[in-house]
Amino acid sequence: MSSVDQKTKVSPLVVVGTVAIDDVQTPFGSRESVFGGSASYFSYAASFFTQVSLVAVVGEDFPNAFRDVLAEQNIDLSHLEVASGKTFHWKGKYEDDLNTAHTLDTQLNVLLEFNPKLKFQSSPEFLFLANIDPTLQLKVLDQVGRSKVKFVACDTMNFWISNKKTELLEVLKKIDCLVINDGEARQLTGQSNLIRAAKDIQNAGPSVVIIKKGEHGALLFDRANFFALPAYPLESVFDPTGAGDSFAGAVVGYLAKSKDLGFNNLKSAVAYGAVTASFTVEDFGLERLRRLDQGQIEERLKLFKKICSF
């Protein structure tokens, strides 16, 4: 039932990951059947900066309305495969402090058989491997022609660090940038100090490491430089789902637009990531991003610079 039948033109940025339907409980309310998934948040956030091709799988139950949400942002859906069965479903709950998501239920459904096939006419310049099984991330790397891709970034999660570490270490050897949260960085390296953790990750492969610290901001490392950024301060966080994925989407989207991997530009990318993520958490799912425009992003970035400068 693949929708990928013939070779299509590739976007400057390709993301491979999950598209999901989420049930989310927060202290401010509950919402069922919210449009979610790592690749959804990533591609929507990246679409403010560049064109994105989304590589993912959904089930036959995937609503046309959700598809339209992405299509309206000019996201290339030629590689959004529709498989027999149901869409990946995640159910989660946030406690009062909104810092930790408790997974109540995970129905992998069509994800169980997901085997991404990239049928683009050429390699993308920028590639993001969102949080999926490292075995699949390796398959994608084999297909794209690694040497032809200018910049490959990757995310992962605690489950893969625990259960697919060998494969994950193989992925690390082949990428330019790992985007990971603080707890996962510590778990992956056994280092409680995040600067040491970043160095260990760099020694395993990627020259650029971005550590997401949620409400505490982010750290950025290349082999010679270091950058620390607080989070954009929000008085009301409504739903943290997708914050990390939309952060990564803005970071890599901005890099794909500017095509500059110098450290100063990496810093700007991370600042755009923090600002974009700060919008994501202001409403359920993709709702806030759908009401967002480039002007609001620039305005908040300006305010953010003022808040951080001394």
Binding residues for a second copy (CB under 8 A): 96-98, 192-193, 195-196, 213, 216-217, 219, 226-231, 233-237, 264, 267-268, 270-271, 305, 307-310
The CB-of-240 to a second copy minimum distance in angstroms stands at: 12
Rounded-to-integer distance, Cα 217 and Cα 290, Å: 23
The CB-of-232 to a second copy minimum distance in angstroms stands at: 8
The CB-of-11 to a second copy minimum distance in angstroms stands at: 27
Q: Which is nearer to a second copy, 96 or 293 (CB)?
A: 96
Q: Which is nearer to a second copy, 115 or 158 (CB)?
A: 158
* The residue to which tokens 């939309």 are assigned: 246
Q: Which is nearer to a second copy, 121 or 236 (CB)?
A: 236
The CB-of-16 to a second copy minimum distance in angstroms stands at: 29
Q: Which tokens hold the place of 30?
A: 């509950």
Angle, to 10 degrees, between the axis of helix 194-203 and the axis of helix 182-189? 60
**Tally of CB atoms within 10 A around 100:** 12
The CB-of-197 to a second copy minimum distance in angstroms stands at: 10
Q: Which is nearer to a second copy, 57 or 198 (CB)?
A: 198
Q: Which is nearer to a second copy, 110 or 270 (CB)?
A: 270
Which residues touch 1 (CB under 8 Å, ≥6 apart)? Answer: 60, 81, 82, 83, 84
Rounded-to-integer distance, Cα 220 and Cα 270, Å: 8
Rounded-to-integer distance, Cα 264 and Cα 236, Å: 30
The CB-of-144 to a second copy minimum distance in angstroms stands at: 30
Q: Which is nearer to a second copy, 34 or 275 (CB)?
A: 275
Q: Which is nearer to a second copy, 73 or 278 (CB)?
A: 278
| Nearest C-alpha neighbor of 31 from the set 22, 40, 39 | 22
Q: Which is nearer to a second copy, 164 or 267 (CB)?
A: 267
The CB-of-53 to a second copy minimum distance in angstroms stands at: 29
The CB-of-36 to a second copy minimum distance in angstroms stands at: 24
Rounded-to-integer distance, Cα 91 and Cα 202, Å: 34
Q: Which is nearer to a second copy, 77 or 161 (CB)?
A: 161
The CB-of-268 to a second copy minimum distance in angstroms stands at: 6
| Nearest C-alpha neighbor of 219 from the set 244, 164, 182 | 182
Rounded-to-integer distance, Cα 210 and Cα 107, Å: 29
